[in-house]
Chains A and B, each alone.
Chain A
């Protein structure tokens, strides 16, 4: 059918063109000239068009252009990115040199929103742009870390471990499930921000409210972060090289007791518990004098005694006798080090009239400030675009391959990690025993913590390799000047390979002689296919209409596979890295599916602008997800927004001439969320030894395996929808010197997908998500920016502030339903319940410490606990007795507000940048105090536990009296809640731009050299190592179970352009 149409079309086309050409050829003249900037430098790639026609050209590398103009004259429209457009009438001249003014106003900037681009002037939603220069001034592993404090409405919590991802939250916590925003990189959506090279990024736009982000409806409920990577610009090839090298050191130190102080603490703990002070290692004098033994294994061993004879040393399965000398070890000092961080990047970019390209290669490496861990990343990126048929057809690709390697083992919030271990491991223990093997705590009363140095050293050979290919290939065709069709196929493929070596740890009191090796692999792929048809036309010069419709299909699938073996004869790397040489009768393996879902959507967007003054936008999107059954699979997400550019109105432009731009915005929209399990609708069973194995035949070694319910299904689940309303003001005053933006917003999440706690009588399996809850967030985002200069001195200040208030309106039909957060050794300390913010802290309220026995007796009875030196717990319900009913909400992990501050000063060739950020008003539950302040486990205590403890001689103590039998003081209470507010000077950088006098003599085009200090100072009252707590689950926020602190880093770097 198509063939028949083409023949007559081609014919008329050719005739038409010839006819046009003939007319044009007879009545034209050629105009040429040079386009340059006020300094006289040529502007290549400037666009010169004849107004009202499609005749146009581009200036070449020297800024020269040549264009045909009718003899009767015409108007040339000259434009170039970064410069103000100019219109010049051509009279009789044939040579016309054009000087373009630099564009101070950033409002002509084009930003990516949705599946196309929009001029910043026309945006009616709440969108914040962060440009690459601001991002790159903070050296960081991931771009999310670089975003911290740069934009209002964003809350970023960093993971300080090398290669760790930052948690990004936009405008609070919208749901009880997953609150991650959607990341769109060059148009390809992904939920995984890992291992993308931040140096490849050109700009980032953050879509904060539904009227902007609902075009991505299906996964946009938590906001959208749009990342655009560097493409080439028209002009000769530019090669640039940048590198930096720095050293990192921990900025905070653990305050733990030394060996003698711990002895004093233990003496007092026994004395106040009315026990005769006695310890397996220390010898106590009559007045509390502490004597440290020569050996800790055998317990309290003496030098020269028969049982400490080195010939008796043995560490074999049949005879464990690891003689160990005593020591006075400061564990934090032993596990931390000064570590390097470095980055090298080489970029080549350029373009011509019909093509542009950008190629970059990068290497990043960061060693951990905790020993034996590190991270490396290699990336390659290629972005190209080609155009043909008079630029009507454009084909391009953006692709990056990155390979990263996470070395060693460290998990935040792990009871046995290096940070927790430094609080807990006994100071009497050395790192090595008398024969140079790692020393453990097998002696009496030394605790059951593992040697943190040994744990790190044994895991030093663990590796997690990850290879990720990400990008898209697209084709665009201008069917008509105002109608464009675009198709784009994006992929995101990750494969990971992990190697985990479990070395024998017989010195550890809960260890063994068994060694093991685990090798696992997983892969995950996502493909995205988008098609859009867009329309853009201006009618009668005042009516501007932009619209597009499109479709998107997404599929994601991933699989895991792993195997382990035990019983290696040797633990050397060539042997234990691979499974073959392990004992084939001690094998474990597993294989399962990870991601498995698909999405299918149709969407449309309509923009109308009247004379740049009245703006209107409407979006509608229909999504279907495989996570819901067909009856509830589809959902419709509409949105609209309005804008009014007050600065174009006469009454503003005449009365307030200093206002360059003033715009009011209002937006309303719905976005969706479907982050639940892939098989939520199905009831399923599993079959494995642990859940369903039983030796029904009496077998002594192998059970028979049955079936067990794995998950209950909810076939009626449907999309969760967030409705958001936003009112905003953008203003730019004094020709762009001062600009500010202010947004008031509210987000209500309804039909919130929530895995409700099941009643035990239905049995036990993973509960499905039901649409039962509702959550409201409201807040305010503000940003202000001022820049100016006085002769050669230039300065600019910008600040942003965001606040949000979160409230769980309801979880399900009952107002008393509670969802408890993470529980470890203590009962859950966070609770999510109707009427309070998500993940509020829960426990007893401590009012003070009893000073005397009479005070303790007068207080409501709390079992047999009340005594001088113990906590005075509040009787919340006033029933005269302290019991579990007196637990209540004791803290709020959400900040009152977060802010960022940036100061740039420049004088001639020097630039100084200072960037600081902070949060105010958030609480943190310092779980490390459970071990360090109370007599819970045998191990070390904090300095606070000895010196700040209440004693009759120290009545102003804030820590309860030491008591060997006390199990109640350590219950979750407001004692653990600390103020996590902090102000951190995150970055100070001094840059020197080499003058052109020097660079002119070399091959360099420009060069910069800089020094930088990161995390220079943190001002906080928090006593833990790092007030910035990131957790995996949003129902357990602000829980510090042992997090790596931030490092103070000193960096030197260079940037060269050729």
Chain B
């Protein structure tokens, strides 16, 4: 009977230990689904897409959680309203921050100003992304490479120009290196 028990204990612990080391690393590895990884973009087609993404920042849409008019290139909020071109209108409570911009009363808590910076620097970051990705792309003609680089640099200049119109800009070390 005693050997019986010992055998049973063996079986039990053996099974449990087996389970304990059974599961492999594969069970715990995940690859992002329905999203691109950076390596997928290091191709000729990929870098064209990233460049398009940089162009897409011009119209002001594409930033989660903010309204497109806070950042678009037409600048009706930062150009048209504070000048004589446009009057904000509607009710006092509809977009009150624009009334303060209209009266040149620039508050630190004004979301329009914060989001303008956010959009412009996202544009800059995307153009930097093009320039960096371009370095790793092999299968592209030299002419097209030069074209893409030029377009990215132009866009970056455009976004910095917009930022300069609003105030001081912050030159990052990386940007200095890339110039």
Contact = CB atoms under 8 A, between A and B. Distances in A.
Contacts of A9: 4, 7
B112 to A, nearest CB: 11
A684 B32 contact: yes
A277 to B, nearest CB: 16
Contacts of B54: 706
A763 B122 contact: yes
Given A533-B13, A597-B30, A763 B125 contact: yes
B52 A704 contact: yes
Interface string B90-130: 01111010010000010111010000011101101110110
A964 interface: yes
Interface in A386-419: none
A598 B29 CA distance: 8
A863 B38 contact: no
B12 interface: yes
Given A533-B13, A686-B36, A687-B36, A692 B121 contact: no
A967 B62 contact: no
Nearest to B121: A760
A703 B62 CA distance: 13
Interface in A580-605: 591-593, 596-600, 602
A710 interface: yes
Given A705-B49, A938-B91, 12 more contacts: A5-B7, A483-B9, A592-B33, A630-B25, A690-B61, A706-B52, A706-B54, A707-B46, A760-B121, A763-B125, A930-B93, A934-B93
A614 interface: no
A706 B50 contact: yes
Nearest to A968: B96
A710 B36 CA distance: 9
A965 B58 CA distance: 34
A199 interface: no
B155 to A, nearest CB: 11
Interface string B3-27: 0110111011101100110010101
Contact of A679 (B32, B51, B105, B172): B32
Contacts of B141: none
Given A682-B37, A685-B38, A761-B121, A708 B16 contact: no
B30 A691 contact: no
A985 B19 CA distance: 52
Given A600-B23, A679-B35, A965 B55 contact: no
B24 to A, nearest CB: 9
Contacts of A709: 125-126, 129
Given A626-B28, A690-B62, A710-B35, A531 B19 contact: yes
Nearest to B47: A707
B30 A553 contact: no
Contacts of A764: 63, 118-119, 121-122, 125
A734 interface: no
Contacts of B49: 687, 692, 705-707
Contacts of A598: 27-28, 30
6 contacts: A633-B28, A694-B58, A707-B41, A827-B109, A936-B92, A937-B94
Given A483-B8, A553-B27, A764-B122, A965 B92 contact: yes
Interface string A952-981: 000000000000111100100000000000
B5 A684 contact: no
B82 interface: no
B87 to A, nearest CB: 14
Contact of B48 (A480, A593, A706, A763): A706
B79 interface: no
Given A625-B28, A763-B122, A706 B55 contact: yes
A760 B92 CA distance: 30
Nearest to B108: A884
A763 B35 contact: no
Interface string A516-541: 00000000000000010100000000
A596 B52 CA distance: 30
Contacts of B129: 709, 763
Contact of B28 (A624, A693, A761): A624
Interface residues of B, number: 67
A591 B33 CA distance: 11
Interface in A532-589: 533, 549-551, 553, 555
Nearest to A678: B30
Contacts of B108: 884
Contact of A684 (B29, B36, B91): B36
A822 to B, nearest CB: 11
A480 B2 CA distance: 11
Contact of A591 (B34, B35, B105, B170): B34
A710 to B, nearest CB: 6
Contacts of A655: none
A602 B21 CA distance: 10
B59 interface: yes
Nearest to A5: B7
Contact of B99 (A626, A686, A707, A967): A967
B111 A936 contact: no
B109 A479 contact: no
Interface in A844-869: 863
B56 A706 contact: yes
The 5 closest A-B pairs by CB, nearest first: A936-B93, A706-B52, A763-B125, A684-B35, A764-B122
B19 A694 contact: no
A987 interface: no
Tell me which of A555, A696, A964 has the highest count of chain B C-beta atoms within 10 A of its own C-beta. Answer: A696
A938 B11 CA distance: 78
Contact of A693 (B23, B56, B63, B99): B56
A1001 interface: no
A344 interface: no
Contacts of A592: 33-34
B52 to A, nearest CB: 3
Interface in A4-28: 5, 9, 12-13, 16
A39 interface: no
A485 interface: yes
Given A626-B30, A679-B35, A763-B129, A705 B52 contact: yes
B169 to A, nearest CB: 10
B63 to A, nearest CB: 6
B143 interface: no
B25 A686 contact: no
Nearest to A555: B27
A823 interface: yes
B167 to A, nearest CB: 14
Nearest to B170: A761
Contact of B1 (A16, A599, A703): A16
B135 to A, nearest CB: 17
Contact of B29 (A626, A691, A863): A626
A967 B122 contact: no
B16 A692 contact: no
Contact of B111 (A596, A679, A704, A827): A827
Contacts of B109: 827, 884, 887
Contacts of A931: 93
A12 B52 CA distance: 80
A936 B48 CA distance: 46
Contacts of A930: 93
Contacts of B35: 679, 682, 684-686, 710-711
A626 B23 CA distance: 13
A520 B168 CA distance: 47
Contacts of A690: 61-62
A684 B64 CA distance: 16
A692 B52 contact: yes
Contact of B4 (A13, A691, A703, A884): A13
Nearest to A590: B34
A935 interface: yes
A137 interface: no
A760 B117 contact: yes
Nearest to A592: B34
Interface string A702-746: 011111111100000000000000000000000000000000000
